[in-house]
């Protein structure tokens, strides 16, 4: 029986180099078996995220242009979910880092391809088993992160608490009834319409002066006396002027 793999030891990225982590912390793993990709291609992707924080590892895989990054991203998401929903020791996702990750070779499928002169060439379709292990950050790193960014470790808990607070503060009473408006609504009255509407508009008082309706012969009869009354003073003044001249 072979010994433990060297890449199973917990490793943490410190600056530009990876260092071995001696402190034993809670770890959670996820494994995908019989993936239809060679272990060589997956190992190149695993080398990018080994020792990184879980959030940074997820971003690195999302921005990678390799096809194997999609498979590794699913395995990493499963490992983070196992840590967050553990029944005994749940750990928040922002407190995790990729402590170990490796790819083992699986069974190889043999296929044949015809070649020249009746010969055949073997085609090897390789498979692999991908394993990702996430662990809780050491206490020293957590204290340093909280000192550098206060409350960074409790970000998810603070967001959940704020959401519960908003739901509790939401008004539960029914909406207040809409107040009725007693003020009259101004409307434009068009002069073109039925005769009844025209009569109502004409009969309105304008600056305290009554206006007679301007339809029919009655209007001319009412206006004529006024014209005669205005003409009488002018005729009297004209009659007096010749008398003064004769004198």
Number of H helices, E strands in the chain: 7, 7
- Return the SS3 of 183: coil
Rg (CA), the chain: 48
Beta strands per DSSP E along 40-158: 96-105, 109-114, 120-125, 128-136
Cα(175)–Cα(213) distance, integer angstroms: 53
Q: Tell whether 231 is covered by a domain.
A: no
State how far Cα 206 lies from the chain centre: 60
CA 158/CA 102 separation, integer angstroms: 34
CATH code for the domain in which residue 49 is found: 3.90.470.10
Nearest to 31 by CA among 101, 87, 81, 88: 101
For residue 64, give its domain range.
Answer: 6-158
- Tally of domains in the chain: 1
Chain centroid to Cα 132, Å, comes to: 32
Q: How many residues does the chain have?
A: 247
Is there a domain that residue 21 lies in?
yes
Per-residue tens of pLDDT for the chain, all 247 residues: 345 565 667 777 766 666 767 667 788 999 999 999 999 999 999 999 998 999 999 999 999 999 999 999 999 999 999 999 988 888 888 889 999 999 999 999 999 999 999 999 999 999 999 999 999 888 887 887 777 765 544 566 677 778 778 888 876 545 555 555 555 555 554 545 555 555 555 555 544 555 555 555 544 445 445 555 555 555 555 555 555 554 4
Please give the DSSP secondary-structure letter assigned to residue 209.
B
In a domain, 187, yes or no: no
For residue 117, being part of any structural domain is answered with yes
* pTM metric for this prediction: 0.56
């Amino acid at each position: 029986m072979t010994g433990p793999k060297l890449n199973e030891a917990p490793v943490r990225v410190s600056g530009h180099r990876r260092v071995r982590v001696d402190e034993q912390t809670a770890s959670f793993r996820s494994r995908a078996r019989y993936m239809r990709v060679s272990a060589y291609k997956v190992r190149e992707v695993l080398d990018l995220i080994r020792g990184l924080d879980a959030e940074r590892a997820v971003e690195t895989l999302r921005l990678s242009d390799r096809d194997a990054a999609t498979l590794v991203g699913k395995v990493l998401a499963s490992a983070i979910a196992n840590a967050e929903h553990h029944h005994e020791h749940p750990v928040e996702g922002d407190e995790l880092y990729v402590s170990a990750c490796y790819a083992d070779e699986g069974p190889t499928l043999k296929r044949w391809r015809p070649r020249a002169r009746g010969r055949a060439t073997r085609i090897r379709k390789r498979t692999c088993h991908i394993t990702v292990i996430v662990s809780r950050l050491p206490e020293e790193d957590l204290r340093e992160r909280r000192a550098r960014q206060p409350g960074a470790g409790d970000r998810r808990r603070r967001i959940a608490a704020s959401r519960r607070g908003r739901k509790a503060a939401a008004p539960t009473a029914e909406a207040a009834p809409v107040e009725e408006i007693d003020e009259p609504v101004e409307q434009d009255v068009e002069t073109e319409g039925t005769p009844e509407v025209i009569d109502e508009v004409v009969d309105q008082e304008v600056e305290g002066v009554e206006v007679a309706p301007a339809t029919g012969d009655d209007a001319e009869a009412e206006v004529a006396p006024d014209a005669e009354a205005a003409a009488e003073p002018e005729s009297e003044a004209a009659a007096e002027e010749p008398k003064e001249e004769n004198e």
